[in-house]
Chains A and B, each alone.
Chain A
Amino acid sequence: MLTVKLEGTIGNFPIAADIEAGVGVTAIYGPSGAGKSTILRAIAGLWQPDRGFIQVGENVLLDTNGDIDLPTEKRRLGVVFQEPILFPHLSVRANLGFGMKKHETGWDGVIEMLDLGDVIDRMPRHLSGGEAQRVALGRAILSDPQILLLDEPLTGLDDARRAHVLPYLERLRDETTIPIVYVSHHRDEILQLADLIFTIESGTVTGELTPGEFDKKMRPNDVTRQDGAGK
């Protein structure tokens, strides 16, 4: 379903990944600053590795040997970052519809799944953090992506809000067929959501674990937050 092989550097920091994943939720787990987000940005076409091959389903997004490098807008991805990054000048409704093509369906289902009916006519500045993140999720899903890339989508929220949004992610996993790549440094989130986990340290993907193996191997507090940013 998803193949990511890449090598590159950011400044002097080397990044290397070799990931094969099926449907369901694939997690990338590691401390802040380990390069998790960079791998996600590479899949999205927002960061260019020196060498790489990225394929989602049938579509090759990047192949540095074959000279393929689809621009971000042609990759058909849904991305949600740590911050919701809603378009501030557009209503929730317009934000949600931004990536939709004409005659696309699924609107009602997504609004219902994420409980967005009550906030649909608000402007983004009048949303709580949790609401805004749900809008960002809905916007990503409604763009009909081949794959969803979630980069620490709960990290910007406090514990109460996180507990509030997490069930929506579970519904998303269970009620849609879109494969999800989930980047996080939170052990609990990963255990709750992931079907397969890749661990990453200092820019390099070092392991591939099932949730059971992950639970045994990664004891709580193994990974410490260093800077609060999910780079």
Chain B
Amino acid sequence: MSDPAVWSIVLLSLQVSCMAMVVALPLAVVIGKVLAGPGFFGKAFLSALVHLPLVLPPVVTGYALLVLFGRRGWIGSLLDQWGLGFTFSWTGAALAAGVMAFPLIVRPIRLAFETQDARLNEMAATLGASRARRFFKISLPLAWPGIIAGLVLGFAKALGEFGATITFVSNIPGETQTLSLAIYTLLQSPRGDSAALTLIGISIVLSFAAILASEWMANSNRRRLEQ
């Protein structure tokens, strides 16, 4: 396997994972905040829905995505008219990665909101801060370590996603063939072992880098608090 091919696979994987995080992270912050808040009708259902991809066989999640977002799917057929098809496209791989990673992103964020001292929020309200200002100035910055943890976990999960991706958008080189799919394909072919090893090495390095980056961000956050 040539170097350019390796790098295009790596770049595609990063592109898919980054795209998944860009969309999933803000949504996960909102859902995490909602789930950490007071009870409401349907909260348990929302929580279950969010966690479903964690316990379902990934193939089932991929199939569900196909039913919903495929060209003839309920949502997919609508999006198709706007030229926003997911089928057999890298954006579909990002969608699958984002959905699979979502529970892992939400969990630490929810925990970060849940463990916050509610009196800080009350105090900010007595000082005249609106709900939005309380969220952006108090809750969100204090939840930062949880958000970073969720981001890193989610990114690592997205990078390694396999089952839902291959079911939803297949295994198309240059479009949906991410690291895991490429490694799988190479291991299936008679002389693919050495190329597979290269990709395996790269995925180890990437995962390691993600964890180091999260440590660094957590530390810089701590330093900011300890000035």
Q: Which residues of A contact B (CB under 8 A)?
A: 44-46, 71-79, 81, 83, 85, 87-89, 91, 98-99, 101, 123, 125, 139-140, 143
Asked if A85 and B120 sit within 8 Å, CB to CB, the answer is yes
Main secondary structure on chain A at its contact with chain B? loop
Asked if B120 and A87 sit within 8 Å, CB to CB, the answer is yes
Asked if B142 and A88 sit within 8 Å, CB to CB, the answer is yes
> Count of A-B contacts with CB under 8 A?
62
Asked if B125 and A72 sit within 8 Å, CB to CB, the answer is yes
- The yes or no answer to B26 lying at the interface (CB within 8 A) is no
- Say which size band chain B's interface belongs to: 20 to 34
Asked if A99 and B129 sit within 8 Å, CB to CB, the answer is yes
- B138's contact among A71, A87, A91, by CB below 8 Å, is which? A87
Asked if B127 and A99 sit within 8 Å, CB to CB, the answer is yes
Cα-based distance from A87 to B137 in the complex (angstroms)? 10
Asked if A72 and B126 sit within 8 Å, CB to CB, the answer is yes
Asked if A143 and B125 sit within 8 Å, CB to CB, the answer is no
Closest chain-B Cβ to A96's Cβ sits at a distance in Å of: 10
Q: In the assembled complex, which residues on chain B have CB atoms less than 8 Å from the CB atom of A88?
A: 142, 225
- The yes or no answer to B64 lying at the interface (CB within 8 A) is no
The 16 sampled A-B contact pairs (Cβ below 8 Å) are A44-B122, A72-B122, A72-B126, A73-B128, A75-B126, A78-B127, A81-B119, A85-B119, A85-B120, A89-B141, A98-B124, A98-B129, A99-B127, A123-B226, A139-B127, A143-B128
Asked if B120 and A125 sit within 8 Å, CB to CB, the answer is no
Asked if A71 and B127 sit within 8 Å, CB to CB, the answer is no
Asked if B227 and A85 sit within 8 Å, CB to CB, the answer is no
Identify which of residues 188-227 in chain B touch chain A, using a CB-to-CB cut-off of 8 Å: 224-227
Asked if A89 and B226 sit within 8 Å, CB to CB, the answer is no
- The yes or no answer to B60 lying at the interface (CB within 8 A) is no
Q: In the assembled complex, which residues on chain A have CB atoms less than 8 Å from the CB atom of B128?
A: 73-74, 76, 99, 101, 143
Cα-based distance from A46 to B137 in the complex (angstroms)? 20
Cα-based distance from A122 to B227 in the complex (angstroms)? 7
- Known: A44-B126, A71-B125, A99-B129. Is A123-B227 also a contact (CB below 8 A)? yes
